[in-house]
Amino acid sequence: MSIILLGCSADEVIKVGSPFNDEGTEGVKFNNEITDEKAITKLRTIIDHSKGIDKPNIENEAEAFFQLDRPDESVSEIRRYIWFQDDGSTVLFDGGSNYASLTKEQTLELKSILEL
């Protein structure tokens, strides 16, 4: 019985969605959940290797959003809004005050993981 509980407590899920702003109501419409351990590990690596940047001059709404949750613990560990750039790179925002950028290669891997 304890083995089953240990397996459940490590469950993680990446939720992927589209941000929206309808007449002042902001939120995210989630349309995909990813539970593959390899994808989760790759996502963590990408985030760990993202480069912190100053707040960019972005006026449009984010194109996508993801969060890495541990549902058994009711924890959302990583949350990022995504803006894809014309040069193939990506800007990420954690919803607080931290922005980061991804290279073109990291962006391609992120898109593959999130199935975008």
pLDDT, averaged per 10 consecutive residues of the chain (116 residues), comes to 40 94 87 94 96 93 95 90 96 95 97 92
pLDDT of residue 32: 94
pLDDT of residue 24: 80
pTM for the model: 0.85
Domain boundaries, the chain: 10-114
pLDDT of residue 1: 38
Looking at CATH, the fold of the domain delimited by 10-114 is given as: Immunoglobulin-like (2.60.40)
Spatial strand order in the sheet of 99-102: 25-34, 13-22, 64-70, 75-84, 90-93, 99-102, 51-53
* DSSP H or E segment with residue 113: helix 104-114
